């Protein structure tokens, strides 16, 4: 475990002042069947306007440049932007965000959209981490997911990324309808052969409104048996542990030191800025989300209005409870009682003593005195357990 | 000055539901000038919206009508009666205040079960009966046939039967005349000490208890000191009056008159319906014949769905009992459901109404256990126990004889429905008594049925078996020994007391299998496997298992997801809060309710 991700506390409550920034780029080559992100296909002609709007939103919101420890450019597909636009994006970010020494800057990329030129631009700007969306290497699974690339594109993207960025990650999805445990194990082996220092492995979610969800509703898509999904998940945890990638969050695995520091901000329930369509931010205890409608976003920013939609501010106890739920997603570090008290002002045992006792007895929680963590079985049943902390 | 009793007539309208009782009552008010045409549109006598929705009048009410016939003014007191199976006793207490009754029969529907049941009550109470056919304005009316039915079922001469349309008012003047000519004037001694019959009461937020009375002897005056003879409690009359149909205060009520009394009575339970009011000093020596207190026949446990609402539930029940003293409730503790109440009702409909009121008026969400009847158990030691809670039924080895209440049930059905009803009754351990034909197309079928077999859904089954045309009425006639046993449900090895029921041994296997299957569908998967069993004593007769939850984890939770995911978890947690904990297993409210649902699926 590195310094960067140990659950250190600062004098300034970390949920107050953002030291992290998320920037959203919605453009994609086409819409994947399972996707419910704020992403659009066929709107690339709005990219220049979008970048201008981002610039404006950051200017209006920040007023002056801010120092941050992490930047995460996600999507959509940021690398769908043309090289010229990508470098414009880095200039805009450079204008408003000052990476602190040793800062982490991640950009998401999809195979088939990344080339040497774009990679050079990103590396030159200071991007030090690439997250590649591979999802699967199995043609049938990619088809079910409606992804438009294959293994060769991933290989090419990895070749481009590997030598230019100190850290890079692959995203994979398990539990795709029609796949077997063996299929998934093969996907995982292929991914490991590429040698990433970080892997995100997600159990497939049927998000409401997606084509995949509709298919399931109509009975055309048959979800995998829960037992098979569980076996895939278990295999993932064990296989990656053997490969030296330890599970540091429910869906995230890394060589120690290569964890996503930006994402750890979320799981410590710390503050973050958010810019772009559909982006969420959490500042001084208030969470707001921008509209997910690209045109509305553009119109509002261009007319000097904020693009925010729903706002949420929790009271101290609710915030503490939410913090507990997020912290417990961190498999390795879990929730440190002292740290929790410092950050939230609450004693976790006062908030959830009964649940802790019950789940500790069942072995779902490991309590080593200072810290609480999900036990192995607890990982598979995390939702039911975490709900009891709310 | 009291009104001369010679010119007073006290009567009720008795009818099967929907035969037009309320409409006729309004029409009488309209034609006597008590209400305007516009007001006629509203059914003045039904003022509880729940009853109106169901077309039932539960609470009897009295209206005083002045009517001039041949130059003489008469005072006609119409005392309303409820029209449903469960409320027999309320009908009889209203009838006790009358000398006559209009027997109203829908000329399109003909004689129905409550027509017969209520007519017998009236005849038994020595009332003059004025038979009236209603809805003769309708194409589908068949007055001659229905008169035949009245003759066959009640022995009433067709020539006595009037025909009206309560809706248009056609023929209604004849009804007035018949009431005046056929119903005897009240007999009573104006000089004797006061005796007034309490035939109903209600609770009013402002005035406290309002009692409805009919003066038999003497005079009842405002300011007078009175005594309730059964309770031996004394009050002062602070308010007196009549409904016409709105409240009109008066100073005194004389022989034969009907009205309301307000006397600073705090609780409904301080008043016994059927009690006699007399005066002090100089009270009457002999009270008027009263009625029997109605006994609850159907019971169920009612528990708050969320913890810590026991007190709220108690308050709500107390409040409700202010207006309905006919249901009972006493605290009950269940391992599965915690603290609640065992409540007794006059019948299934009564139970439903009370529950709906509770939920509606108090905002409580309730868990209800399966309804049951009171069992009489003779133990091997020779004791006789009356038990209205299945969990209290002793183990089989301690029971010498297990007895259950039996009802005599009359069904009036189209002849082509006889087969279906017979089948229905055979399936429910019915004993056939007789069939009487009202006409070539309709018959009265009489059965003896265990009350327990009726309380789930007999009424609904009757309706569907007869396309809505069948009607029924019942009367509990006593206890009879049966081959009964208690069926227990075990969840994860633990007996869930609230799910215990009493079943006939011959039906136990089928019922047990059905119950566990139902529960399997209603209990959510847990982090471990959950076994559901049905057992009689220690013998397991059915079993189902709910497999363990194997994977339940949100894959993605980044900045934009946090609020939404938290809300999803909160919802899960909320759901859990409303669950009942049995050992380690959480059982939803729906699961308890599903046991009530007797439908085959
Ligand atoms: N056509 C017609 N309809 C009537 C007559 N009397 C009552 N109704 C209707 O029959 C239904 C039941 O009447 P209601 O007075 O509520 O019956 P209750 O349940 O006996 O009080 C209502 O829809 C009335 O409008 C009548 O004489 N003619
Ligand atoms: S690439 Fe990602 S953001 Fe774009 S449509 Fe596919 S899943 Fe959605």
pTM for the whole thing? 0.67
Size of the A and B interface in Cβ pairs below 8 Å: 93
Give me the pLDDT at residue B117, please: 80
Q: What is the token pair recorded at A69?
A: 């420890």
Q: For residues A264 and A7, what is the distance between their CA atoms, to the nearest angstrom?
A: 10
What does the alpha-carbon distance between residue B478 and residue B536 come to, in Å, rounded to a whole number? 26
Residue linked to tokens 């000038």: B33
- Whether residue B574 lies within 8 A of chain A, CB to CB, comes out as no
Q: Which of A202, A269, A289 sits opposite B560 (nearest CB)?
A: A289
Stronger pLDDT, B120 or B253, i.e. the higher one: B253
Whole-Å CA distances, A236 to A164, A194, A231, A241, B384: 28, 16, 8, 8, 67
For residue B146, give the H/E element and its range: helix B143-154
Neighbour-count burial of A368, counting CB atoms closer than 10 A to its CB (0-12 exposed, 13-18 middle, 19+ buried) = exposed
* Mutation site for B-interface testing, chosen from A384, A388, A389 by largest number of B Cβ within 10 Å: A384
Q: What is the pLDDT of residues B216-259, one digit of tens each?
A: 999 999 999 999 988 788 999 999 998 887 788 999 999 999 99
How many residues are listed for chain B in this entry? Answer: 601
Tell me the CB-side half-sphere exposure of residue B49, using CA atoms within 13 A: 4
- CA B282 – CA B261 distance, rounded (Å): 20
Q: Which of A265, A383, A389 to mutate to test the interface with B (most CBs of B within 10 A)?
A: A383
Contact between B28 and B78 (Cβ < 8 Å):
yes
CA angle B18-B22-B106, nearest 5°?
Answer: 40
Closest CA to A271 of A5, A20, A9: A20
Which pLDDT band, with edges at 50, 70 and 90, does B18 fall under? confident
Compute the distance between CA of residue B195 and CA of residue B289 in angstroms, rounded to an integer: 11
Between A124 and B295, the more confident residue is A124
- What's the alpha-carbon Rg for chain A, to the nearest Å? 21
Map B18-69 to HEC letters.
Answer: CCCHHHHHHHHHHHCCCCCHHHHCCCCCCCCHHHHHHCCCCCCCEEEEEEEE
Tokens of B79: 């005392």
Tracing tokens 């109404």 back to the chain, one arrives at B353
Predicted confidence band at B463 (pLDDT cuts at 50, 70, 90)? Answer: confident
Rounded to the nearest 10°, the torsion over CA B276, B282, B286, B292 is 20
Work out which ligand 2 atom sits closest to the CA atom of A146: 6
Name which of B549, B556, B563 is nearest A202 (Cβ-Cβ).
B556
- The percentage of chain B sitting over the pLDDT mark of 90, rounded to a whole number, equals 41
Both structure tokens of B244: 């016409």
* Residue from A326, A387, A388, A389 whose CB has the most chain B CBs within 10 Å, to mutate: A387
Q: How far is the CA of B556 from the centre of ligand 2 (A)?
A: 15
Instruction: Give the pLDDT score at A340.
Output: 96
**Closest chain B C-alpha to A203 CA, distance in angstroms:** 6
- The answer to whether B525 contacts chain A (CB < 8 Å) is no
Question: What residues does A172 pair with on adjacent strands?
Answer: A135, A201
- Residue among A94, A51, A105 at smallest CA distance from A76: A51
**H-only helix segments in chain A:** 47-62, 83-96, 116-125, 139-145, 151-162, 181-194, 211-217, 226-242, 261-267, 294-302, 316-327, 337-344, 348-362, 376-380, 382-387
Best of B18, B80, B136 to mutate for ligand 1, by most ligand atoms within 8 A of CB?
A: B18
pLDDT (tens, 9 = 90+) of chain A, 390 residues, equals: 333 333 344 445 666 889 999 999 999 999 999 999 999 999 999 999 999 999 999 999 999 999 999 999 999 999 999 999 999 999 999 999 999 999 999 999 999 999 999 999 999 999 999 999 999 999 999 999 999 888 999 999 999 999 999 999 999 999 999 999 999 999 999 999 999 999 999 999 999 999 999 999 999 999 999 999 999 999 999 999 999 999 999 999 999 999 999 999 999 999 999 999 999 999 999 999 999 999 999 999 999 999 998 899 999 999 999 999 999 999 999 999 999 999 999 999 999 999 999 999 999 999 999 999 999 999 999 999 999 999
Question: A326 and B549: CB-CB below 8 Å?
Answer: no
Using the structure block, give the residue that is written with the tokens 């017979």: B422
Rounded mean pLDDT of chain B? 86
Rg (CA), chain B: 27
Give the closest-approach CA distance of B121 to chain A in angstroms.
59
Residue B362 pLDDT:
78
Q: Separation of B275 CA from ligand 1 center, angstroms?
A: 34
Q: How confident is the model at residue A13, as a pLDDT? A: 61
Average pLDDT on B124-140 reads 93
The answer to whether B560 contacts A278, with C-beta atoms less than 8 Å apart, is yes
The DSSP result for A237-272, as a single string, is HHHHHHTT-EEEETTEEESTT-S-HHHHHHHTT--B
> Would you state the structure tokens that stand for residue B409, as one six-digit string?
């049930």
Question: In the 8-state DSSP scheme, what is residue A79?
Answer: G
pLDDT of amino acid B52: 45
pLDDT at B292: 62
| Percent of chain B surpassing pLDDT 70 | 92
Chain B residue closest in CA terms to A364: B527
Within a 13 Å sphere around the CA of A316, how many CA atoms are in the beta-carbon half?
Answer: 10
- Is the distance from the beta carbon of residue A76 to the nearest atom of ligand 2 less than 6 Å? yes
What's the start-to-end Cα distance of chain B, in Å?
68
- The per-residue pLDDT for range B384-416, each reduced to its tens digit, is 999 988 888 998 889 999 999 999 999 988 898
CA angle B588, B594, B595 (to 5 degrees): 110
Cα–ligand 2 centroid distance for A34 (angstroms)? 8
Q: Is A370 helix (H, G, I), strand (E, B) or coil?
A: coil
Å between B564 CA and nearest CA of chain A: 11
| Closest-CA residue of chain A to B573 | A387
**Helix B310-323 to helix B348-362 angle, to the nearest 10 degrees?**
120
Chain B partners within 8 Å of A274 (Cβ) = 559-560
pLDDT of residue A255: 96
Which tokens is A386 given? Answer: 């975490």
From chain B, the residues in CB contact with A251 under 8 A are 555-556
Output the pLDDT for position A10.
45
Please judge whether B569 and A329 are an interchain contact, meaning their C-beta atoms are less than 8 angstroms apart.
Answer: no
Q: Which ligand number lies closest to the CA of residue B14? A: 1
| Tokens found for residue B170 | 């056609």
Residue B558 CB partners (closer than 8 Å, separation 6+): A263, A266
Cβ–Cβ below 8 Å for B559 and A272: yes
pLDDT over 90 (residue B49): no
Structure tokens at B73: 């003014």
Summarize chain A as % helix, strand, coil (round to 5): 40, 25, 35
Distance from CA of B145 to the nearest CA of A (A): 57
CA of A26 to the centre of ligand 1 (A): 66
pLDDT the model gives residue B51: 47
Residue B82's Cα: distance from chain center in Å?
9
All residues of chain A having their beta carbon less than 8 Å from the beta carbon of residue B554 are: 250, 382-383
Q: Which of A10-19, B104-113, B196-205 shows the lowest per-residue confidence on average (mean pLDDT)? A: A10-19
Hey, of B558, B568, B575, B577, which one would you mutate to test binding to chain A, going by the most A CBs within 10 A of its CB?
B558
Is residue B336 very low, low, confident or very high in pLDDT (cuts 50, 70, 90)? confident
Banded pLDDT at B85 (limits 50, 70, 90):
low
What's the pLDDT score for residue A164? Answer: 94
pLDDT exceeds cutoff 90 at B354: no
Task: Tell me which chain B residues have a C-beta less than 8 angstroms from the C-beta of A205.
Answer: 555-556
Query: B397 and chain A: CB distance < 8 Å anywhere?
Result: no
- Measured between CA atoms, how close is A276 to chain B, in angstroms? 12
Other Cβ atoms closer than 10 A to B446: 15
Find, among B496, B521, B537, the residue nearest to B597 by Cα. B521
Give the 3-state secondary structure of B224-238. CEEEECCCCEEEECC
**Which among A26, A34, A43, A77 is the best mutation to test ligand 2's pocket, defined by most ligand atoms within 8 Å of the CB?**
A77
Q: Tell me which residues have their CB closer than 6 angstroms to ligand 1.
A: B 15, 17-23, 55, 83, 134-135, 137-138, 165-167
Ligand 2 mutation pick, A24, A32, A109, A279, max ligand atoms within 8 A of CB: A32
CA distance A322 to chain B (A): 7
Q: Is the CB of A27 under 6 A from ligand 2?
A: no
Q: How confident is the model at residue B271 (pLDDT cuts 50, 70, 90)?
A: confident
**CA–CA separation, B450 vs B93, rounded Å?**
26
What's the CA-to-centroid distance between B28 and ligand 1, angstroms? 14
């Amino acid at each position: 475990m590195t310094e960067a991700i140990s659950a250190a506390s600062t004098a300034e409550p970390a949920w107050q002042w953002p030291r992290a920034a998320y920037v959203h780029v919605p453009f994609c080559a086409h819409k994947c069947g399972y996707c419910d992100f704020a992403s659009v296909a066929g709107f690339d002609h709005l990219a220049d306007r979008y970048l201008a709007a981002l610039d404006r939103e950051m200017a209006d919101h920040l007023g002056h440049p801010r120092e941050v420890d992490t930047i995460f450019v996600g999507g959509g597909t940021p690398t769908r932007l043309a090289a010229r636009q990508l470098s414009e994006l880095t200039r805009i970010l450079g204008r408003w965000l000052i990476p602190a020494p040793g800062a982490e800057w991640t950009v998401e990329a999809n195979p088939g959209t990344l080339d040497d030129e774009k990679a050079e631009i990103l590396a030159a700007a200071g991007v030090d981490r690439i997250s590649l969306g591979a999802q699967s290497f199995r043609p049938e699974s990619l088809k079910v997911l409606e992804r438009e690339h294959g293994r060769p594109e991933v290989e090419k993207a990895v070749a481009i990324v590997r030598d230019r960025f100190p850290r890079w990650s692959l995203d994979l999805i398990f539990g795709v309808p029609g796949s077997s445990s063996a299929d998934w194990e093969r996907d995982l082996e292929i991914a490991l052969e590429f040698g990433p220092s970080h892997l995100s492995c997600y159990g497939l979610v049927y998000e409401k409104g997606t084509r995949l969800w509709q298919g399931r509703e109509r009975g055309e898509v048959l979800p995998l048996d829960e037992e098979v999904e569980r076996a895939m998940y278990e295999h993932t945890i064990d296989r990656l542990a053997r490969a030296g990638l330890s599970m540091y969050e429910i869906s995230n695995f890394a060589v120690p030191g290569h964890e996503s520091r930006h994402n750890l901000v979320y799981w410590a329930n710390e503050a973050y800025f958010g810019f772009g369509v559909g982006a969420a931010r959490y500042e001084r205890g208030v969470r707001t989300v921008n509209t997910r409608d690209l045109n509305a976003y553009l119109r509002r920013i261009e007319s000097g209005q904020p693009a925010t939609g729903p706002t949420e501010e929790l009271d101290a106890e609710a915030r503490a409870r939410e913090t507990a739920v997020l912290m417990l997603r961190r498999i390795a570090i879990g929730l440190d009682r002292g740290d929790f008290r410092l950050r939230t002002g609450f004693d976790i045992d006062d908030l959830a003593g009964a649940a802790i006792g019950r789940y500790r007895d069942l072995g779902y929680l490991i309590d080593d005195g200072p810290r609480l963590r999900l036990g192995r079985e607890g990982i598979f049943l995390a939702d039911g357990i975490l709900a009891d902390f709310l | 000055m009291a009104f001369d009793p010679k010119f007073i007539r006290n009567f009720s309208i008795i009818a099967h539901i929907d035969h037009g009782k309320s409409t006729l009552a309004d029409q009488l008010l309209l034609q006597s000038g008590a209400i305007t045409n516009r007001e006629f549109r509203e059914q003045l006598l039904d003022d509880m919206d729940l009853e109106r929705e169901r077309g039932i009048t539960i609470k009897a009410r009295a209206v005083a009508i002045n009517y001039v016939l041949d130059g003489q003014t008469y005072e006609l007191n119409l005392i309303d009666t409820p029209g449903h199976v469960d409320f027999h006793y309320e009908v009889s207490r209203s009838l006790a205040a009358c000398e006559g009754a209009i027997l109203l029969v829908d000329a399109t529907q003909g004689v129905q079960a409550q027509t017969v049941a209520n007519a017998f009550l009236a005849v038994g109470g020595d009332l003059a009966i004025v038979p009236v056919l209603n809805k003769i304005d309708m194409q589908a009316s068949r007055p001659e046939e229905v008169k035949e039915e009245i003759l066959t079922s009640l022995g009433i001469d067709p020539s006595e039967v009037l025909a009206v349309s309560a809706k248009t008012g056609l023929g209604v003047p004849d009804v007035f005349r018949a009431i005046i000519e056929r119903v005897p004037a009240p007999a009573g001694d104006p000089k004797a000490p006061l005796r007034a019959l309490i035939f109903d009461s209600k609770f009013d937020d402002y005035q406290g208890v309002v009692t409805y009375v009919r003066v038999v002897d003497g005079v009842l005056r405002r300011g007078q000191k009175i005594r309730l003879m059964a309770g031996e409690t004394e009050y002062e009359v602070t308010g007196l009056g009549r409904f016409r149909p709105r409240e009109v205060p008066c100073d005194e009520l004389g022989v034969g008159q009907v009205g309301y009394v307000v006397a600073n009575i705090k609780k409904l339970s301080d008043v016994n319906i059927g009690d006699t009011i007399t005066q002090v000093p100089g009270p009457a020596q002999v009270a008027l014949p009263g009625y029997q207190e109605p006994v609850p026949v159907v019971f169920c446990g009612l528990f708050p769905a969320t913890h810590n609402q026991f007190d709220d539930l108690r308050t709500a029940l107390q409040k409700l009992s202010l207006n309905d003293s006919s249901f009972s409730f006493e605290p009950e503790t269940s391992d599965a459901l915690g603290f609640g109440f065992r409540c007794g009702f006059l019948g299934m409909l009564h139970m439903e109404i009370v529950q709906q009121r509770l939920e509606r008026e108090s905002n409580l969400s309730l868990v209800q256990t399966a309804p049951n009847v009171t069992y009489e158990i003779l133990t091997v030691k020779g004791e006789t126990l009356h038990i209205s809670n299945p969990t209290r039924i002793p183990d089989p080895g301690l029971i010498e004889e297990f007895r259950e209440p039996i009802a005599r049930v009359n069904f009036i059905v189209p002849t082509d429905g006889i087969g279906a009803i017979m089948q229905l009754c055979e399936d429910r351990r019915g004993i056939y008594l007789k069939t009487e034909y009202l006409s070539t197309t309709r018959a009265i079928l009489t059965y003896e049925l265990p009350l327990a077999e009726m309380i789930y859904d007999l009424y609904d089954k009757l309706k569907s078996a007869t396309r809505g045309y069948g009607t029924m009425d019942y009367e509990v006639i006593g206890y009879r020994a049966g081959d009964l046993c208690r069926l227990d449900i075990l969840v994860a090895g633990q007996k869930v007391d609230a799910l215990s029921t009493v079943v006939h041994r011959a039906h136990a296997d089928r019922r047990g299998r059905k119950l566990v299957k139902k529960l399997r569908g209603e209990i959510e998967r847990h982090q471990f496997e959950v076994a559901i069993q049905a057992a009689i004593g220690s013998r397991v007769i059915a079993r189902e298992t709910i497999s363990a939850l194997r994977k339940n984890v949100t894959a993605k939770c980044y900045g934009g997801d946090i609020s939404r995911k938290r809300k999803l978890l909160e919802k899960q947690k909320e759901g859990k809060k409303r669950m009942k904990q049995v050992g380690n297993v959480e059982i939803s409210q729906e699961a308890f309710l599903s046991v009530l649902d007797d439908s085959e699926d």
